[in-house]
Structure 1
């Protein structure tokens, strides 16, 4: 079973679910600054989305969809945070290339991905979005590797219900 999990990734049972508290972590952002989630917990809703890789087709569509809806997220007072295993330089280039106005965090060791229990499919890192309320509680999750833009729709719908 352990070999199976190494190959396919953790099962959904280990994944953070609605009602769970978001784990505390800190990572480098696209500007090389340390972002500590504890500095924003309790202050505003968060949209934390994990994605496989900068500049790939679906990931770029997803990021640009978050960008295009960024004013809607701001209306809800939500902070958008994208996380992948790409390094700081890759995130800086990705953010500049696509005019991304939100925070991208570099999780090169996949430690935060593991904290959240984000599953992977075969060898592809998962694409999961978590909507977190002001109290640091996950109020909605959405998991879809193929439909990056749907993550934005799901996030906005969850924020609207809050």
Structure 2
């Protein structure tokens, strides 16, 4: 079990780095400073539920990009496993390898049998604005798009 509880709405994106599928270090706090960023955690690359979820994001990627959303998929897989997964399914977004669970712990994502739970955090300008602690891989992307639309509607109303 984790000693951390899941990040709350309004929390700052943690200052933690991850390695992407190509071996580049990514500072999560930095990438979350501008715009809308989705950090979605999944148990294991190239397993049925995770593949459906990732391909759903891939198939709706244009809509996400058009809404200004940057997507980061995170699991406790190795960098090599993330690269194979990204290449095999032509995933257009960044996958972060977190074999030691540092990112998982910073976000307070529950671990089961050495894998991250399927959880999701949406950040806007460095702050968590939405989270789902029990993600369904089949409607995850629709849920995220709906939430992004709500964010945009709310910011338009506040102008």
Is TM > 0.5 for Structure 1 vs Structure 2? yes
Q: Which of 65, 80, 92 is equivalent to 1:74? A: 65
The aligned residue for residue 5 of structure 1 is none
Q: Is 2:104 aligned against 1:97?
A: no
The number of residues matched between the two structures is: 151
Structural mapping, 1:6-155, within 5 Å: 9-10=1-2, 14-121=5-112, 124-133=115-124, 135-144=125-134, 147-155=136-144
Q: Quote the Cα distance in structure 2 between the aligned partners of 1:18 and 1:38.
A: 15
Distance apart, 1:121 and its partner CA: 4.7
Distance 2:60 2:8 in 1: 25
In 1, Cα distance between the equivalents of 2:71 and 2:48?
20
- Distance change (3 Å), C-alpha of 1:106 and 1:121: closer
Question: Structure 1 residues 124, 104: closer, same or farther in 2, change over 3 A?
Answer: closer
What is the TM-score when the length of structure 2 is the normalising length?
Answer: 0.88
- 2:104 and 2:17 mapped to 1: Cα distance? 12
Q: Calculate the aligned-residue CA RMSD, in Å.
A: 1.7
Distance of aligned partners of 1:132 and 1:94 in 2 relative to their CA distance in 1, 3 Å threshold: same
Q: How many angstroms does 1:17 deviate by?
A: 1.6
